[in-house]
């Protein structure tokens, strides 16, 4: 046998033959229900070859569910309606059957074999074989080719658990592209990618378009949707509420379709007056575990005040998340970090120390570090408040219920019941549960790392207002974000980082967009 790679290449020529602008996928009256929710309701849609068709909608609108129905994650007999691919009715029982027909999905929650290498993850079910054995040489050399093509900085033998989330995302994308696709489903692929990595992805999407592959693209970033789509479909509460060519869908129309009404002001008009310093960070320094004499974070010092929103702005990789992890004693490696809480030195060595000092943390990689998805919404919310809810180690269930209800209401978490498992919730709602945990725990200091990533416009607005309220009630918020618009919209002060160093700290109200962008990308003159 010549190995599966060659078989795959052979089929690729067939894919090249796809004709442009032909209807390839027809969805008719698709409906999918879960206990207590109609996730997708009577959805009909046509997708054409060589088209990027974006689907946008609020958290819980049903976008991922619809993708999972197309990709065979949900077997055809678990939902109503029909799917036709090239005029042929599809009855997929599982993902493999959909893949064989050329429908591949890059899921919102990455599913990778953490203990296996990059190469093994790329080839998963189709290892190249020679003389009845896995042909590692071919597998590694092909992997290296894909790695180079995608500009990844890993080796084929690196274990997936050792690489960052952005790199993983690109590997999953490479994996799907490598298996010959006719229809590629991308469920929020850019949520965790840097600008540079997004560019690589968009190039790949463009290449696919040229091969007349159809791409269905889900994203909460409307700018990006406007940039790459040919057609835009909007979903709300499980229904398709509008489909139109990109030129006919401006952002205002998209948002009002998503929300069901016009939306005006996203950021709260804030008039906060921060008080005394609550937390001082001094000389956070982290050595690069991979390169000698290189620092990931280089003597970073700053104060945060009660009632203040301090943003840490910078490009992905500037060292902001690492600084947060170092503060929380959670960075895996050589770290120096001095901290004073209300003027007294403290040292945090574990998550329980952070809870003791009333410091809440919403991590960037929520799937791995934040949300416990096999637990219920309620448990996720109360997880860090159990001692407060208990007396002599007995949990007060009444108080617990009240706390859960209060958080669900304040954050407008969409869930059928508090007992619903977080893994059955939409991405954005799962995220709100982690934020809710720290609000429930009455944290005095909140460190929020990319808190609005994957969150829809309406929920984002709610989160900005909640942050404003929390700050007004005297909480200190350290807000890590790569979205300069939100940083400018919400902050009292903006600390810009670049290559592990603090470049500048600017007053939020007087900040100038171009100056901050310049500082984050090029640095300042004194450097």
Binding site residues, ligand ATP, CB under 6 A: 34, 37, 39, 57, 59-65, 108, 414, 424-429
Piece of the chain touching Mg ion by CB under 5 A; list 105-113, 302-310, 318-326, 392-400: 105-113
Nearest distance, CB of residue 443 and Mg ion, angstroms = 27
Nearest distance, CB of residue 134 and Mg ion, angstroms = 35
For residues 39 and 516, which CB has a smaller minimum distance to ligand ATP in the complex? 39
Considering CB distances under 5 to 8 angstroms, the limit depending on partner class, which of ligand ATP, Mg ion, none binds residue 268? none
Please state, in angstroms and rounded to a whole number, the distance separating the CA atoms of residues 446 and 164.
24
Nearest distance, CB of residue 296 and ligand ATP, angstroms = 31
Nearest distance, CB of residue 378 and ligand ATP, angstroms = 15
Considering CB distances under 5 to 8 angstroms, the limit depending on partner class, which of Mg ion, ligand ATP, none binds residue 225? none
For residues 190 and 385, which CB has a smaller minimum distance to ligand ATP in the complex? 190
Q: Is 457 left (phi over 0), alpha (psi -120 to 50) or beta?
A: alpha
For residue 489, CA distances in Å to 266, 312, 477 come to 9, 13, 14
Strand partners, 26: 46, 84
Please state, in angstroms and rounded to a whole number, the distance separating the CA atoms of residues 181 and 175.
10
Strand partners, 339: 281, 346
Nearest distance, CB of residue 7 and ligand ATP, angstroms = 34
Contact between residue 469 and residue 384 where contact means Cβ atoms under 8 Å apart:
no
Site for Mg ion in 416-475 (CB under 5 A): 427
Work out the angle between the directed axes of helices 165-178 and 195-210 (0-180°, nearest 10): 10
Please state, in angstroms and rounded to a whole number, the distance separating the CA atoms of residues 11 and 120.
21
Please state, in angstroms and rounded to a whole number, the distance separating the CA atoms of residues 471 and 508.
14
Piece of the chain touching Mg ion by CB under 5 A; list 47-55, 108-116, 189-197, 502-510: 108-116
Please state, in angstroms and rounded to a whole number, the distance separating the CA atoms of residues 108 and 294.
34
Which residues in 381-425 belong to E strands, given as ranges?
A: 390-391, 394-395
Nearest distance, CB of residue 425 and ligand ATP, angstroms = 4
Q: Name the 3-class secondary structure at 427.
A: helix
For residues 6 and 34, which CB has a smaller minimum distance to ligand ATP in the complex? 34
Nearest distance, CB of residue 414 and ligand ATP, angstroms = 5
Piece of the chain touching Mg ion by CB under 5 A; list 64-72, 125-133, 239-247, 468-476: 64-72
Which residues in 229-334 belong to E strands, given as ranges?
A: 231-236, 239-245, 277-287, 295-305, 309-313
Residue 378 DSSP class: H
For residues 211 and 460, which CB has a smaller minimum distance to Mg ion in the complex? 460
For residues 163 and 407, which CB has a smaller minimum distance to ligand ATP in the complex? 407
One symbol per residue from 287 to 306: x for binding Mg ion (CB under 5 A), - otherwise; what is it?
--------------------
Considering CB distances under 5 to 8 angstroms, the limit depending on partner class, which of Mg ion, ligand ATP, none binds residue 491? none
Please state, in angstroms and rounded to a whole number, the distance separating the CA atoms of residues 170 and 189.
9
For residues 57 and 370, which CB has a smaller minimum distance to ligand ATP in the complex? 57
Q: Does 64 bind Mg ion (CB under 5 A)?
A: yes
For Mg ion, how many residues bind (rule: CB under 5 A)? 3
Nearest distance, CB of residue 46 and ligand ATP, angstroms = 20
Nearest distance, CB of residue 287 and ligand ATP, angstroms = 37
Radius of gyration of the chain (CA): 24
Please state, in angstroms and rounded to a whole number, the distance separating the CA atoms of residues 109 and 255.
25
Contact between residue 5 and residue 142 where contact means Cβ atoms under 8 Å apart:
yes
For residues 404 and 430, which CB has a smaller minimum distance to Mg ion in the complex? 430
Considering CB distances under 5 to 8 angstroms, the limit depending on partner class, which of ligand ATP, Mg ion, none binds residue 428? ligand ATP
Please state, in angstroms and rounded to a whole number, the distance separating the CA atoms of residues 32 and 34.
7
For residues 135 and 456, which CB has a smaller minimum distance to ligand ATP in the complex? 456
Contact between residue 143 and residue 170 where contact means Cβ atoms under 8 Å apart:
no
CA dihedral angle for residue 497, residue 495, residue 515, residue 527, rounded to 10 degrees? -50
Nearest distance, CB of residue 426 and Mg ion, angstroms = 5
For residues 413 and 477, which CB has a smaller minimum distance to Mg ion in the complex? 413
- Name the residue with tokens 């960070």: 281
For residues 30 and 328, which CB has a smaller minimum distance to ligand ATP in the complex? 30
Residue 483 DSSP class: -
Considering CB distances under 5 to 8 angstroms, the limit depending on partner class, which of ligand ATP, Mg ion, none binds residue 382? none
Please state, in angstroms and rounded to a whole number, the distance separating the CA atoms of residues 525 and 37.
56
For residues 43 and 359, which CB has a smaller minimum distance to ligand ATP in the complex? 43
Q: Give the neighbor-by-neighbor strand order of the sheet with 335-341.
A: 295-305, 277-287, 335-341, 344-346
Nearest distance, CB of residue 177 and Mg ion, angstroms = 21
Q: What are phi and psi of 240, to 5 degrees?
A: -85, 120
Nearest distance, CB of residue 218 and ligand ATP, angstroms = 7
One symbol per residue from 384 to 423: x for binding Mg ion (CB under 5 A), - otherwise; what is it?
----------------------------------------
For residues 453 and 504, which CB has a smaller minimum distance to ligand ATP in the complex? 453
Considering CB distances under 5 to 8 angstroms, the limit depending on partner class, which of Mg ion, ligand ATP, none binds residue 452? none
- What letters, b where the CB count within 10 A reaches 16 and e where it falls short, cover 287-298? beeeeeeebbbb
Q: Does 190 bind Mg ion (CB under 5 A)?
A: no
Q: Which residue is nearest to Mg ion (CB)?
A: 64
Question: For binding to Mg ion (CB under 5 A), which residues are involved?
Answer: 64, 108, 427
């Amino acid at each position: 046998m010549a190995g599966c790679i060659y078989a795959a290449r052979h089929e690729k020529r067939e894919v090249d033959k796809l004709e442009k602008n032909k209807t390839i996928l027809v969805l008719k009256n698709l409906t999918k229900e879960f206990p207590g929710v109609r996730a997708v309701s009577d959805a009909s849609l046509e997708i054409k070859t060589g088209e990027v068709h974006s689907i946008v909608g609020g958290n819980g609108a049903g976008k991922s569910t619809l993708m999972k129905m197309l990709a065979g994650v949900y077997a055809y007999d678990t939902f109503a309606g029909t799917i036709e691919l090239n005029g042929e009715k599809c009855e997929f029982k599982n993902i493999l059957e959909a893949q064989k027909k050329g429908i591949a999905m890059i899921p919102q929650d990455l599913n990778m074999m953490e203990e296996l290498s990059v190469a093994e993850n790329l080839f998963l079910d189709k290892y190249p074989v020679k003389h009845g054995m896995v042909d590692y040489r071919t597998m590694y050399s092909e992997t290296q080719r894909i790695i180079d093509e995608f500009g990844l900085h890993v080796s084929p033998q690196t274990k997936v658990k050792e690489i960052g989330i952005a790199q993983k995302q690109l590997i999953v994308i490479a994996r799907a592209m490598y298996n010959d696709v006719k229809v590629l489903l991308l469920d929020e692929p850019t949520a965790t990618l840097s600008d540079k990595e997004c560019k690589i992805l968009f190039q790949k999407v463009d290449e696919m378009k040229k091969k007349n592959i159809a791409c269905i693209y889900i994203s909460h970033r409307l700018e990006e949707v406007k940039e790459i789509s040919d057609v835009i479909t909007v979903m709300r509460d499980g229904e398709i509420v509008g489909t139109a060519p990109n030129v006919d869908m401006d952002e205002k129309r998209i948002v009002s379709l998503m929300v069901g009404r016009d939306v005006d002001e996203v950021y709260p008009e804030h008039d906060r007056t921060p008080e005394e310093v609550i937390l001082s960070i001094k000389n956070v320094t982290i050595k690069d575990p991979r390169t000698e004499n290189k620092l990931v974070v280089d003597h970073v010092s700053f104060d945060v005040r009660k009632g203040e929103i301090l943003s840490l702005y910078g490009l992905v990789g500037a060292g902001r998340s690492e600084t947060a992890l170092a503060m929380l004693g959670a960075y895996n490696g050589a770290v120096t970090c001095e901290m004073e809480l209300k003027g007294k030195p403290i040292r945090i060595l574990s998550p329980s120390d952070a809870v003791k000092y009333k410091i809440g943390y919403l991590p960037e990689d929520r799937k791995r570090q934040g949300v416990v998805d096999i637990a219920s919404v309620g448990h996720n919310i109360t997880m860090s408040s159990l001692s407060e809810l208990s007396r002599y180690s007995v949990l007060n269930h009444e108080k617990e219920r009240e706390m859960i209800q209060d958080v669900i209401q304040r954050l407008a978490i969409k869930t059928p019941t508090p007992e619903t498992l977080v893994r059955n919730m939409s991405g954005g709602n799962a995220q709100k549960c982690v934020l809710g945990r720290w609000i429930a725990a009455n944290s005095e200091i909140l460190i929020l790392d990319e808190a609005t990533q994957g969150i829809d416009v309406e929920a984002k607005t709610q989160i900005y207002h909640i942050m404003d309220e929390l700050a007004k009630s005297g909480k200190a918020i350290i807000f890590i974000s790569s979205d300069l618009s939100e940083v400018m919209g919400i902050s009292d002060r903006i600390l810009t980082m670049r290559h592990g160093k603090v470049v500048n700290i600017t007053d939020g109200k007087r900040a100038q967009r171009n100056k901050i962008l310049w500082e984050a990308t090029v640095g300042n003159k004194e450097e």
